[in-house]
Every structure is written in structure tokens, then in C-alpha cells.
Structure 1
Amino acid sequence: MSDGTKIYIAGHRGMVGGAILRQLEARKAGGEAIETITRTSADLNLTDQTAVRDFMQTERPDVVILAAARVGGIHANNTYPADFIYDNLMIECNVIHQAFASGATRLLQLGSSCIYPRAVPQPMREDALLTGVLEPTNEPYAVAKIAGIKLCESYNRQHGVDYRSVMPTNLYGPGDNFHPENSHVLPALIRRFHEAAQSGAEEVVIWGSGKPRREFLHVDDMAEASLFVLDLPKDIYAASTQPMLSHINVGSGSDVSIRELAEMVAATTGFTGRITQDASKPDGTMRKLMDVSRLADMGWRAGIGLEQGIQGTYEWFLKQDAANLRSA
């Protein structure tokens, strides 16, 4: 990034936005002349077009990082489909358009691997987008994320700006949501196995068959990859994409079964009882592994292994749990 760059991070209190902000602040501490701009959701409602317009016109950022989104696991997606599609569409439309209207020529939008069809060849390549039917359990969210990609592509084509999209695999790490019903699979398992270990429970039941395979990426790796893609010279980025294929996959390049993941979490939390599956619960897509060869060819690979990442995330969870108990 050039000196004096004003960077607005939408969603800086979320897991990914927070990790990106930490890395940008580290750059500032290292001497880079960049200014980071943030607003909480209480200060700026990103679904409010007028509020976003006024904010962008006042701040006029050079770069926008769109990490804000309404997110959740299978249960949340099934329970609140209207909220997921409406909120995410409004956030993307408002932030992307008002960034353009205020003169921001560079933008990075963060999406999700759920944009790809349910029955797509594995690992999932970027050109699999819009080639088949989406996974029903998170289709509204996926449609909104696809719209975000197409917004960026369309503004690039019509207005000559440099708006990029990165599609991460399943993310985890410090700042994650550990809600027992509305969280993603890994933080949900960490909480469930922690509570079982603490209570001395003999059994933990996990959703589905345990056979689906998932890829996981630590949020610090995602933040590093996001800034790596954002920093790429325009000609290098353009050479790796196409006018109608402007997004890039970000992942670890390897996956594990949900059963294997549960066993890793059990070992980390100290749970020694039985792990059983509730086959009446949905599995979702049977496998979701990203093809990350394009990003690897550009020079970036994930650096935090899954076991190491789970251990660090559990330690962070314990600190938050202890802090909550002290403040109760």
C-alpha cells in the first residue's frame, strides 16, 4: 500500500475484520503511513443506504475492505434465511456502490466457499461458479455472496475500478462466535467438548453422520492472504483472473472429516468420553475443499496447521470464558 492510504475496514469487530485490522495496525507500527477507518454497527448501519452514503462521502477512503456480513452455521441459515439474504445483499450493495461514488478505486470483498454448487468436482475451482445447484441449507447466503462478486466484476467492467473478491474456506480462530446454536461447526464443537469435559459427561453427540469433509483456515492466515491479494499489482492480479472470473479462493488446501475434527477438538479440550453422531441432523454438502492453486502460484500459502490453530483458538476461548465469569 502507498503512503498516506486511508483504509476503511467494514466489519472490524468480526473475526476476519478484526484480524485484518490487527495486521494493518502492525504495519502502521512498523512505519507504514496508512490510516485505518472503522465504525461499529451501532455507529453505522451498513444496511442503511443513506447512512453509508453520508459516511463514505465524509471519510472518502482510498481503499475499502468489506469484511462485514451476517454469518452463521447450518442452524442459523435454516432458521433465518430472509435475514441472511436481505442483510448481506444490502451490505454489499451499499458499501460497494458508495465506495465507488466516494472515489474509492480499490476494494476487497470477502465472500465464502458456499458460493459453489453442491455437486461440484473437488477440489472446487473458481470457474465452478454458477455451474450447478447450490446447497439448500445456505442458498440465501450463497446467492448474496455471489451477488457481491458480480457487483465487483460489474463495477470493474463499467467504471475501470479495481474491486477484488476473495473466497475463504471455513474460518476459525480468535474472535469466533461460540454460540451453541448459531455458530459454525468448529467453534460449536470447541464449546460443546469443553463443557462436556468440565462437567465430566460420558458422551458428546455431534450433528450428522460425521462423514462430511471440511477444510479449515485460521483467521490470521485469512487476514494475511487478504492483504496479500489486495497488495498485488493490478497487472499481476488481472493476469491471474478473467473479466468474468475475478474472485480468488483462499484455503489451506487440505480437509478432514467432521468425525476427525471432533476427535481433534476432544483431545484439545481433554474430553475422554464417547463421540456419537445424530444421523437425523443434516450433513450439508459432503465435501468442500478449495482449489487454491491460483493463489499458491501467486506466492501465498497457509502457514498455521489445524491442530496448532485449534489449540490456540481453545486457549483464546478459555481466556474469554474466564473474563466472562469474572464480570458476571
Structure 2
Amino acid sequence: MKIVDYVTAGKSIYVAGHRGLVGAALTRALTAKGVHVLTRTHAELDLTSQDAVRNFFAAEKPAAVFLAAAKVGGIRANDAYPADFIRDNLLIQTNVIDAARNVGAEKLVFLGSSCIYPRMAPQPIPEESLLTGPLEETNQWYAIAKIAGIKMCQAYHRQYGFSAISLMPTNLYGPGDNFTPVNSHVIPGLMRRFHEARLENRDSVSVWGTGNALREFLHVDDMAAAALVCFERYDGGEIVNIGSGEEVSIRELAALMAKVTGFAGRIVFDASKPDGTPRKIVDIKRLSSLGWKPRHTLAEGLEQTYRWFCDNIASVRMA
């Protein structure tokens, strides 16, 4: 069904996790199309509570669901709280998927992560790589929970005919990102450091690793647009990668970040620190066949994100 049909029929779509990076982008995209979007904060609805989730779905009966809610964190958090990561994510997914099916939701979109793939998957990573090798140990708890969510969607699709699709985004960035020192990913982490270095007139900024590692990045609003395309045009049981189709070295990324933030000092690469996986990019042929392509270049996306960061610095997640 087209998004416009939900608007015409006055049907609501529930975005679980609307305050997060992904959920907020999905809410913006749906609202811009005139959809009545249902949202609940964690204080209003604890998604790990089966009774609370069932009661919410029974009362609101959303016509469709975007499941972007998850317990997320960086390497340190995954290492320190493995039980929390696997338990909470399994509970959230199980409760929402089952409740959506029970109230007759027409479609559910499950948002996963490219971390579900084996640590040594072929590059670019095809969807068929799922469960073909060992996972990256540092985030295995989160990855296993997400894989269980994929399999639950496939099982409900097979047994009940429930239209539940699973999308696997690459590394995302954009408005609403996490800029905290411990949990931020590479783009918000570098953006904050270069920004502060400029303000403090530092001579240099240190970046972990050799700078040679290759990564793929996608603006979160492009991810949201891709998710809406899949919502309208895809009903298969197989997962769909969402990415930019382009990769950049950390060295190139750092140079772009210096330009965007106005930092004029030296960029020093600390080769004593790990590079991580040498290369990580997802294969997006399945997504491209649906007629989607990203709107932002990396440079444009970084400039837009940095403007947002500066305009909202008082409320950005920094600690």
C-alpha cells in the first residue's frame, strides 16, 4: 500500500523509538507526507513489558509499524552490559512484532543493523552473508538479538502471512545523533572533537588508527526515504541492505570533517590504536532495484549535520 493511501484513509502508523536517530528520521519523513504518526516515549510505554505493549496496540490499533526502538551503545557498553543488550532487544522485538500481528497491522518494518553480518563477510556485503560465519565479538549480543528479530519477521511472514520486512542500514549519521564520548560512532565523535579543537585553537587533532580503513556512511534522512520506498514496494521475506553504495577512508573522512568544522590544524593518525575492520560496505543491489538512490553526498550530509549540531548544541547528547 502507498503511504498516500494511509493518509487518505486516516490510518495511523506507529514509530517505535521515535526519539532515536533512526526513529526521528522516520517520523520526519512520514509526517512530511501527511501521515498520522503514533509515538510514545519510554516513560509512557515500556516496550520490554508484554502487557504494556499489548494494551497499547489493543487501544490504538496502528495500521502499520516501523520498529526502530532498540537498546544501543558502543563497544564499551556492549562489553560491560551484554545481558542487558540481548535481553532488552529480544523483549522489545518480540513484544512489538507479536502485538502488531495480533491486532491486524497491515505491515511492519523491522530496522536492524549491518553488524548482523559475519566479521569476515565478503565486501560489499550481500544479504546472503547472514549466518555464514562468526560475528564481531564486541557487539555479538546486540547482533544476535537483531538476527532473532529478522528470523521472527520471517517466521511470522511464513506462518501467518504477516507482512513483516527487515531492513539493514549501514553506518548512519545526521540530526539527532549521539555525540557522547563513550557511545558516539565515528562521525559524531570526530565532529565533536574537530569542533572543540577549533573553538580551543588547538594545533592538532588525533584520530585513532592509520586512517586507511574504509567505511560506508549514509545520511539518516536518506535511510528514512529508503525505508518508505521498501514499505511501499517490497514485501519479500529476505532482508534488504540500506547503504550509500560508496565508501571513504577514515583519512578522507577526517579531512572532510576538518573542512566542514573549520579546523585548520594538523590531523595526526595514531597508528598504535586499532583500525578495526579494514573495509565495511554493504551490497545495495536489492534496494537499488526498487528505484531508490541517496540524495545527500557525504560532504553535503556532513555540512547539514554540522549546522544542526551548532544550532542545537544546548540540547545535543554530549555527556
Structure-to-structure mapping, 1:1-328, within 5 angstroms: 1=3, 2=5, 3-28=9-34, 34-232=35-233, 237-238=234-235, 241=236, 243=237, 246-321=238-313, 323-324=314-315
Contact persistence 2:229–2:290 (CA under 8 A): no
Give, as a single letter, the amino acid of the residue that structure 2 aligns with 1:247: I
Distance change in 2, residues 1:283/1:93 (3 Å): farther
Residue 160 to residue 115, structure 1, CA distance change in 2 (3 Å): same
Asked if the contact 1:194–1:271 (Cα under 8 Å) also holds between the matched residues in 2, the reply is yes
State the SS of the aligned residue for 1:9.
strand
Q: Which runs of 5+ in 1 are unaligned?
A: 29-33
How many pairs align?
Answer: 310
Deviations 1:159-198 (A, max 9, x none): 0110011110000001111111111111011001101111
- TM-score w.r.t. the length of structure 2 is 0.93
Coordinate RMSD, CA, aligned: 1.6
CA distance in 1 between counterparts of 2:302 and 2:172 reads: 11
Structure 1 residue 12: Cα displacement: 0.8
**1-structure distance, mates of 2:175, 2:106:** 31
* Alpha-carbon offset, residue 121 of structure 1: 0.9
Query: Between the two proteins, what is the percent identity of the paired residues?
Result: 56
Aligned-partner SS, 1:298: coil
Question: What CA distance in whole angstroms lies between the structure 2 residues aligned with 1:324 and 1:45?
Answer: 24
Distance 1:209 1:8 in 2: 43
> Which runs of no fewer than 5 residues in structure 2 stay unpaired?
none
Q: Which moved more, 1:139-148 or 1:167-176?
A: 139-148
Q: CA deviation at 1:141?
A: 1.1
Distance 2:104 2:244 in 1: 35
Give the AA of the match of 1:287.
R
> Structure 1: which amino acid aligns with 2:23?
G
Q: Deviations over 1:240-298 (max 9, x none)?
A: x4x4xx21011100111122211111111111222223344443322110110111111
SS in 1 for 2:216: strand
Counterpart Cα distance in 2 of 1:133 and 1:6: 40
Normalised by the length of structure 1, the TM-score is 0.90
